[in-house]
Amino acid sequence: MPVQAPFFDPTTGQMIIDPPLLSRPTNPLNDEAYDPAQTEAGSMPSTSESGSSRDTAAREIHDLKKNQYLIRKLFRTDQRCFLSGSTGFRVKATHLVSTPETAPPGTPKKVKKLVEKYLTRLGFNGKYPFKLDGRSNLLLLAVEFHHGLDAYGDIAFLPSLDFLRELFMALHAANGEWLLRAIETPDAKRNLDMNKAPFNIDGIVWNVVVLHPSAFPSSQGLRIMRPHARTLKHIGGPPPAPSTSEDWHTYQVHSIDGVNFVADTDVEPPSRLELKFESIRAPEDQLSLFAMILVAVAKIRDFVESFPTDTAPPRSIIATHKILELIVAEIFCQPDGFADDEDYKMLVSKFSEAENAEPTPKPIPEPFPEDRENRGTSDIALSPAPAPEPEAC
C-alpha cells in the first residue's frame, strides 16, 4: 500500500500536514435545497465474501480503540477541550503532525520511528523525544472542532503577527549559531530554550481565526467557557469548583477590524476568544510549538491557494502566510552533513520510492453524502503587511 501523501517531502526534509478536504458536508441550516432525509442514507460498509470489508472494519476498530486510549491519556492531563473548555467524551485526540497510517510495504512502523527520530533531532519536543502518538503531538478538541481543524480547515489557531515575527527572528538567530557549530561538530544540536519566550508554549496567546464562516450556523452561537474560568484538577488536589452559568458565554463568528474570529458576543463590544494552553502535563509531554505552527501554516496556505485565479487574497493574509512559511523553513533548517545521517537517508529513500505512488484518499469523517464542491473564502485581514523579512534558512 503506498504512503499516504502528503506527509514528508524528501527534497526539502519538511513534514507536510494534510491539506483540508476539497469539499465539506452541506450544512442543512444554511442550504435551502438540502434534503434532510439524505442524512439517513446508509453509510455502513457492506460485507462481501471476498473479505475486503473485513480489512476496513478491522482498521475502523483499530482506530477507535487507539483514539479511546489517546483520549483517556489526554483527559488525565488536559481535562478540557482546548477551544471550548468543555469536558466529557465527545472529544477527539487530535494529531497535529499526521501519523503514517500507510507506508511502503512492510515498513509503517519503521517509517514512524524514523520520522520520530528526525523530528526529535529538530527539537519538536525540546530536549525530549518526540512521539507521533505522544502528548506533545496531541490536542484535545471537541468532535466538531476536531473536524473543523483537521479535515476541513474551517478554523486555524494563530498567534499574533508580532509574535510570529519574534519567533522567526529567534529561530533565524538560533539556526545561524547552529550552522557555525555544526561545521566543527556535525552532530551538534540546535540550542532552543523551550522554557523561555518565544518558545515557551505556556506563554503564547492563540486566536481562533475562522477561515470558512459558512461552516458555522448563522446566529446559533457556540457555548464556550471563558478562559479565565477554566480550572483543572491537579494531582493530589481537590476537584475544581463546579462551573456556573456566568462562566459560559455565547461566542459567534464575528469580524473585528476585518478579521473573522470566534468572539464573545455576550459582552459589548464583542471580544475575540484568546486561548493559552493549560494542562498538568509533565515537561516531557508539553504541547509542541513546532507542530502547532505546522498546522497553522497548512490551514493558511490552503486558504490562500483556494482563491480563484482571477482574484487575490487580502494583502495582510499573504503577509501572514509569508511569515509562517519562513518560520517553517527555519524549523526544518539542516546544517551541512545533516543529510548524511543514516536514519535520515533511510527516511528520504522510503518516501522517494513512494512519491510516484497513487495517494491514499483521506476519508470524509462526516456522515453527509452530499458535499459542497465550492469552498467558501472569507475575506480576512489579520493585520497590515509586515516589512520584508530576512531570508530564511
Q: What is the pLDDT of residues 187-246, one digit of tens each?
A: 888 999 999 999 999 999 999 999 988 888 776 789 999 999 999 887 777 777 888 999
Between CA 233 and CA 254 the distance in angstroms is 32
Beta bridge partners of 371: 25
Between CA 348 and CA 352 the distance in angstroms is 6
Per-residue pLDDT tens for 242-280?
889 999 999 999 987 767 899 998 899 989 999 999 999
CA-based nearest residue to 338, from 114, 127, 121, 130: 121
Helix (H) or strand (E) holding 141: strand 138-142
Residue 135 near residue 74, CB atoms below 8 Å: yes
- Report the pLDDT averaged over residues 93-122: 82
- Report the pLDDT averaged over residues 50-62: 59
Handedness of CA 79, 364, 367, 217 (dihedral sign): positive
Angle among Cα 141, 145, 147 to the nearest 5 degrees reads 105
CA separation, residue 185 to residues 178, 271, 330, 337, 393 (Å): 10, 50, 20, 10, 19
Q: Which residue has the higher pLDDT, 339 or 54?
A: 339
Q: Which residue has the higher pLDDT, 217 or 133?
A: 133
Does position 29 have pLDDT exceeding 60, yes or no? no
Across 1-15, 74-88, 227-241, 314-328, least confident range: 1-15
SS3 114: helix
CB burial class (10 A; 0-12, 13-18, 19+) of residue 146? buried
